[in-house]
Amino acid sequence: IVMANRLLGRHYSIEGNVISGQGLGKKALVPTLNLKIFYYQLPMEGVYATRSKIGTKWFPSVSFLGHRVTTDGSFAVETHILDETIETAEGEVQVEFMDLIRKNKKFDSLQALKMQIEADIAQTRKILLSRD
């Protein structure tokens, strides 16, 4: 994604409408905004350091796109806003991709997935801080 951004001369971004998800993130992992995406050539499945725009405000975020291989196997695009509690969001959200954190992978348990998500968030913070 870093090379794509260089070639584009900007950060690759997508837009999508907020939809209901599994509810698993809020209950057992980390809360996410689930997005319905149309008309984009998406990057490979994985976790990315991102920035997400809700309304007119940009937030640091970590985003997943791919098949939820640890849970229900369905395809999802989700973004977790760092250091903010977004109880409800409606309408369109824009997501800018800064860097790949890791490829998508299956975990043996939700606890293992949660530990990896915490590591992904820490890695995202480092990436986003280094670019400020």
How does pLDDT run along the chain (132 residues), one tens digit per residue?
A: 999 999 999 999 999 999 987 666 556 578 899 999 988 889 999 999 999 999 999 999 999 999 999 888 899 999 999 988 776 677 899 999 999 999 999 999 989 999 999 999 999 999 998 875
CATH code of the domain containing 38: 2.40.30.30
Alpha-carbon distance of 107 to 98, in angstroms, equals: 25
How much is the pLDDT for 62?
97
**Residues 6+ away with beta carbon under 8 Å from 10:** none
Max Cα distance, the chain (Å): 40
Q: E strands within the chain? A: 13-19, 33-37, 46-54, 57-67, 75-81, 92-103
The pTM (predicted TM-score) of the whole model is 0.90
How much is the pLDDT for 90?
77
Q: Domain range for residue 28?
A: 2-130
Total of domains in the chain:
1
